[in-house]
A = this chain, B = another copy of it.
């Protein structure tokens, strides 16, 4: 195996160089690699065209998404809705004729929101639009009433130090306005949601508010997960709309004291049973080798979790249904996994690598779609084994060319998915199914993540992309990231 990888690595470097030069490959290894890559593309061109054409002509992805979003609704870990979604997914995959359909039990955290409200009481009464953060503790029944203190970030809080004691600290850190080109800067802003309560509690704050992580708002709060640290007090934490955060900061800037009352019934109950849902298109030749395609079935407890991540689940489910309807049974097994508890614990992902430890070496690749169901634009890819990663990248750059009828698709190095990340140490090639996500964070974790935000045609395009890529990865003679020697 090691020798093969070394050969592949060398070949890849050659291909990359030839691409960089823009000229034809010269010399033995280059030519061999090119031939191998291009022949793969040639070999699957007709099949890919069939998959794409058939998917776009008609599929049941929209119906599936309607059932999941409209008939079931949002699906927080431990909720009745998530249990219904597990049942629905099992039934639906069985009805579609898939193999080894099953719910694999997972115990998940059970955080419940209860009623919640926030009111600015000074200088005047104004309802603040909030969503408690997942994992937060609640407040006493009468709420917590304290002066508000708005800070931009950790540094400003640090400077204020003791002045934060007894206050409700607001992290008013705005997400930069995005453009399609510049992405959403989610990563740089979300840190206050995750650890704001810890930072504030360290300074003696009694509660924590966080400006919603979004660049665009219509007074729409965005929830998400938060964490506590054992060495500081656990204080309640909620997201406020960008509008409310801005108002508090403006009042403070004019020297006008602000007092806020925060009421939250939030609590964490005993862990609850849930499940990852699994179904397969069993491979014809090497069924023990597995390509995972996946999304997460759970969502936050607001909106319908349509883009996050009903769409990802439906893409994976429908992908193997399309292949099955076309009688396209690949060499290896394509396994759909619908993860539970992505949003607040990753219990599904952790359980999967325990239950499937023996199988992990035979996990050829794992794909997760968790960026919404907007127009697909390719794949990001990562692998613990850097040589394998480079080889897989080069193969993916060829494979995505099969999707040219659906527009330009990228294959690049980058993060893959929160759930499949658990397989990284096992050396599995991990891929994030990527979409044009410029407006994703307008909806993400909010009441507005609803079915109407998904375009049925774009959903079908995602199905076509995922079906094609999964088929090729499962069918090509070599495992992705490895090559047959020239």
Contacts and interface: CB of A to CB of B under 8 A. Distances in A.
Contacts of A218: 216-218, 220, 442-443, 446-448
Contact of A123 (B71, B242, B254): B71
Given A218-B217, A218-B220, A66 B450 contact: no
Contacts of A71: 123-124, 256
Contacts of A123: 71
Nearest to A253: B66
Contact of A247 (B124, B217, B247, B451): B451
Contacts of A256: 70-71
Nearest to A250: B70
Contact of A250 (B124, B442, B451): B451
A128 to B, nearest CB: 11
A217 to B, nearest CB: 7
Contact of A219 (B70, B246, B250, B303): B303
Contacts of A220: 218-220, 448
Interface string A49-88: 0000000000000000010001111000000000000000
13 contacts: A70-B256, A71-B124, A72-B124, A217-B218, A218-B218, A218-B220, A218-B442, A218-B443, A218-B448, A219-B446, A219-B448, A220-B220, A243-B448
A251 interface: yes
A247 B450 contact: yes
Of A303, A451, A452, chain B has the most CB atoms within 10 Å of the CB of A452
A418 to B, nearest CB: 24
A72 B450 CA distance: 34
A109 B442 CA distance: 38
A129 interface: yes
Interface in A434-484: 442-443, 446-448, 450-452
A243 B450 contact: yes
B251 A450 contact: no
B126 A452 contact: no
A124 B254 contact: no
Nearest to A450: B243
A383 to B, nearest CB: 38
Contacts of A442: 218
A70 B247 contact: yes
B246 A73 contact: no
A66 B252 CA distance: 12
What 10 A-B pairs come out closest when comparing CB atoms?
A218-B448, A219-B447, A218-B220, A218-B218, A243-B450, A246-B452, A219-B448, A243-B452, A70-B250, A70-B251
Interface in A247-291: 247, 250-251, 254, 256
Of A71, A218, A242, A251, chain B has the most CB atoms within 10 Å of the CB of A218
